[in-house]
Structure 1
Amino acid sequence: MDISDLRVFEAVSRLGSMNRAAQELNTVQSNVTTRIRTLEQDLGVSLFQRHARGVSITPAGQRVLPFVGRIARLLADARTAAQDEGAPSGALSLGSLETTAALRLSGLLSRFAKTHPAVRLVLTTGTTRKLLDEVIACRLEGAFVAGPVSHPELHQQVVFREELVLVTARNLRSPDELASVPELKTIVFQVGCSYRQRLETSLAERGIVTARPLEFGSLEAIINCVSAGVGITLLPRSVVAGAWQEGRIAIHKLPPGRAEVDTLFVRRADGYVSSALSAFLDMAHASFSVSGT
């Protein structure tokens, strides 16, 4: 068993197909099939069930899968540590919520790029659930997510606190009017967004039944749809302040227990903190007064 076999295994499990994995890995399907069979023989178990539509990972494969990212990260950490002379350089892969990236990170990223030009920083956006999965699987070195987060393999820092507000079209004067809106729609990010979960909980507590949510991957698309009266959403006040000042939307306060949410920076507790990541966290601390937890 070697890391190249494990990478093939990860690609097949993620894509559900030997052929698609071969395409992604820029090799032929027979090579992928051979590597999987070799790995299965080495481990003494079947990792996949073959069927007409492709393959499905077995329970044994599910147990093996979490180790792939950790092994790859350990090897990458060893290489980084060996080459890390203290001056920030090399690749730095981070993640962020769409809202955080849009409002909070542009200045930080610009300063970091100018201060440390030898670092190749790549920022990926996604929902809290997706970003946590990526950090746990060692595909990201760290990410900005919405709290609370509880996971034994993660180290977390509070970056800043946001006030969440209900965002509606301008003609809605009070959240009490929502109960009379026929087929009320929520406009949200994909499943896994903590703001979406909080909105659904808040509406359920009011006894409000909504139609199937409209999902968008763009913050601006969500704000535009709310402005047009298509539906409502829940977002940090700082994110929608500009649209509110322009008169495009209305915002409504939430009860104190529902309004505040911490934005956290999470990373694997056992991950190597490179000079590049350390420099980024130092700059974030100076920008946002990060407090460790």
Structure 2
Amino acid sequence: MNSTNSRIYEPTPARPVAFLGLGVMGFPMAGHLALAGHQVTVYNRSAAKAAAWAGEFRGRTAPTPREAASGAEIVFCCVGNDDDLRSVVLGPDGAFAGMKAGAIFVDHTTASADVARELYAAGRQLGLQFVDAPVSGGQAGAQNGLLTVMCGGDAAAFDAAKPVGMAFSRAFTRLGDSGAGQLTKMVNQICIAGLVQALSEAIAFGQNAGLDMAQVLDVIGKGAAQSWQMDNRGKTMIAGQFDFGFAVDWMRKDLGLVFDEAKRNGARLPVTALVDQFYADVQALGGQRWDTSSLIRRLK
């Protein structure tokens, strides 16, 4: 993403906001906030990445989450896992220490429902609001400002955050109380795991049968087999291209959260557990950073 971005933003009042975490998702998400007219202060563990963002989007940088959050009405965050999230939220240099009463923390990390509820409770004790808001749409969705955001938390906090968050979203939806956003993301990842494995098997089967699989996917993609994965990953799977997208390492992290939650709620996930082991095979092939569609490599 760059400042020639053609995204059309819904007009909203300019707000002082912060964004913590400028990875492949956070960097463009924060950029969309700036391009939509909001006053954005960013924090990143690597100061050089924050400086690069500020150079591109003319925002401000801060050396700690606390200083980034100071004065912000909404603090957005997208980091790696539960521990990363706690490290930027809690403690003397954490965002909660710098946020003013009534401010909203919106967390886009794919994390556990437990940490969402933990930080929601910690925020309430400080007079702060917390919304768990994991996203779907991948790097391309972040760059194009077309993410699907799944939220859990109080309705008032969600309603206040949504108009701002729509700068990088095509859907920003409350699914229930604290933790509901993370649980919904788990449902999303279960669906993706099964879909990608089925698509991998279908493409490999068709190739073994001597079919022109690009043509086959074009045809069946107009029928009941159509899916986002087929539309966006089918041709690259045929070509054996995986150096992009959502990394296998991150998918296995997400599925670990799914299995932990399933132990608590009694859900049975036999197919998901099998696909998780297939992803372990991909990691063993050296595909830790390959896109999740690389499942097909096991079948070659």
Q: Same fold (TM over 0.5)?
A: no
Would you tell me which structure has more strand in proportion to its own residues?
1
- Structure number with larger C-alpha Rg: 1
What's the TM-score once normalised by structure 1's chain length?
Answer: 0.29
What's the TM-score once normalised by structure 2's chain length?
Answer: 0.28
More contact order relative to length (CA 8 Å, sep ≥ 6)? 1
